[in-house]
């Protein structure tokens, strides 16, 4: 049985392999080849935290996975990371424990960011280069890095806005030091109007900006809403979008970014990302379209990234 800590996991991690497997996992999910358990949500209002437990199995794979992931959003002020958790893998043939990946939330953060970048690459305009990231925490950092790695056909310019201006400045400085182009922006409304791509990475429970600011041709990927009551985007923006895409319709409409629009319109039409990635359904059809993606995080991603580490460990052992 594997028992790996975060440094060991990071050493074994291969970005390109993980991207391909998460891409394929979205397709498997959309095609009905993934068993997914009901998501468990635990809220800790006093500590400004929450915990999610997700589980699933992709047909034909060697293992099923249970993931525990928490977010305690006041932790950075205490000198602690906001994310934590672990991945547990079990044999789909015998039920034996195959791996305990004590990743401290790192794999969840990475698979979330890869998902966001895959969605943006699939749906943004071919000439989109101006990226607004709302939020300046761990996920904002991962989103910027993964977008840059996946969209190498263009030079992306990152604009960072956060309620904490100092955090936005720090993230911009760090991204520039890593070789990316990034600046903090003080005026959120102006930044939204100038953006080709908008990625939201917050824990907001009400819209971060007013309706009518997103210009035609823009793409929006909403990451933060992953439990009932969370919302980052104006409901009217979601309802009026040219195309609404999600990772899993049942999760998105129940507790994702689309939950508010769905409450207002039970017939709200959404397309799962896997159908876009496979080519089964068309994505953007015009440079004037406003496309919106809601990513709640699905077990198929956890399975894919966990198996990536298990296989890498087996390969390292065989050498």
pLDDT (tens digit per residue) in 75-107: 988 999 888 999 999 999 999 999 999 999 999
DSSP strand pairing (243-246 vs 291-294): parallel
What CATH number should be reported for the domain whose range is 116-297? 3.40.50.720
Rounded distance between C-alpha atoms, residue 77 and residue 94, angstroms: 44
Share of the chain above pLDDT 90, in %: 95
pLDDT of residue 265: 93
Kindly indicate the confidence band of residue 297, based on its pLDDT and cuts at 50, 70 and 90: very high
pLDDT of residue 284: 96
Please compute the mean of the pLDDT values over residues 296-319 and round it to a whole number.
93
In this predicted structure, the answer to whether residue 132 has a pLDDT above a threshold of 80 is: yes
Kindly indicate the confidence band of residue 156, based on its pLDDT and cuts at 50, 70 and 90: very high
pLDDT of residue 227: 87
Domain chopping of the chain, boundaries: 2-107+300-318, 116-297
Share of the chain above pLDDT 70, in %: 100
Q: Share the mean pLDDT of the chain.
A: 96
What CATH number should be reported for the domain whose range is 2-107+300-318? 3.30.1780.10
HSE-up (13 A, CA, CB side) for residue 167: 15
The answer to whether residues 255 and 41 touch, using CB atoms and an 8 Å cutoff, is yes
pLDDT of residue 270: 97
Please compute the mean of the pLDDT values over residues 198-204 and round it to a whole number.
96
CA distances from 65 to 35, 89, 100, 215, 303 (A): 11, 5, 10, 40, 6
The answer to whether residues 297 and 55 touch, using CB atoms and an 8 Å cutoff, is no
pLDDT of residue 317: 81
pLDDT of residue 249: 96
In this predicted structure, the answer to whether residue 169 has a pLDDT above a threshold of 90 is: yes
* CA nearest neighbour of 7 among 80, 85, 79, 102: 102
pTM reported for the whole predicted model = 0.95
pLDDT of residue 49: 93
Please compute the mean of the pLDDT values over residues 128-141 and round it to a whole number.
97
User: What b/e string do you get for 43-66 counting C-beta neighbours within 10 Å, with b at 16 or more?
Assistant: eeeeeebbbbbbbbbbeebebbbb
Please compute the mean of the pLDDT values over residues 108-134 and round it to a whole number.
98
pLDDT of residue 315: 85
pLDDT of residue 316: 86
Kindly indicate the confidence band of residue 319, based on its pLDDT and cuts at 50, 70 and 90: confident
In this predicted structure, the answer to whether residue 197 has a pLDDT above a threshold of 90 is: yes
């Amino acid at each position: 049985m594997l028992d790996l800590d975060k440094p060991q996991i990071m050493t074994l991690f291969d970005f390109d392999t993980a991207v391909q497997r998460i891409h394929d996992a979205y397709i498997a999910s959309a095609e009905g080849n993934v068993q997914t358990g009901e998501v468990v949500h635990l809220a800790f209002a006093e500590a400004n935290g929450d915990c999610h437990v997700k589980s699933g199995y992709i047909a034909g794979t060697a293992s099923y996975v249970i993931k525990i992931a928490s977010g305690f959003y006041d932790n950075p002020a205490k000198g602690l990371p906001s994310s934590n958790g672990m991945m547990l893998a079990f044999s789909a043939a015998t039920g034996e424990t195959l791996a305990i990946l004590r990743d401290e939330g790192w794999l969840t953060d990475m698979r979330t960011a890869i998902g966001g970048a895959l969605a943006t690459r699939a749906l943004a305009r071919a000439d989109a280069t101006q990226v607004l990231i709302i939020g300046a925490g761990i996920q904002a950092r991962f989103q910027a890095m993964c977008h840059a790695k996946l969209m190498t056909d263009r030079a992306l310019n990152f604009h960072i806005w956060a309620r904490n201006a100092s955090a936005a400045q720090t993230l911009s400085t760090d991204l520039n030091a890593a070789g990316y182009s990034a600046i903090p922006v003080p005026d959120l409304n102006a930044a939204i109007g100038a953006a080709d791509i908008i990625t939201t990475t917050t824990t907001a429970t009400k819209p971060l900006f007013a309706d009518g600011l997103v210009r035609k041709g823009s793409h929006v990927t909403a990451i933060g809403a992953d439990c009932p009551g969370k919302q980052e985007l104006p409901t009217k923006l979601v309802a009026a979008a040219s195309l609404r895409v999600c990772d899993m319709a049942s999760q998105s409409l129940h507790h994702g970014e689309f939950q508010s629009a769905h409450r207002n319109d039970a017939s709200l039409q959404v397309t799962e990302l896997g159908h876009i990635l496979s080519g089964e359904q068309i994505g953007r059809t015009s440079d004037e379209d406003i496309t919106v993606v809601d990513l709640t995080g699905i077990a198929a991603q956890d399975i894919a990234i966990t198996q990536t580490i298990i296989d890498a460990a087996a390969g390292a052992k065989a050498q």
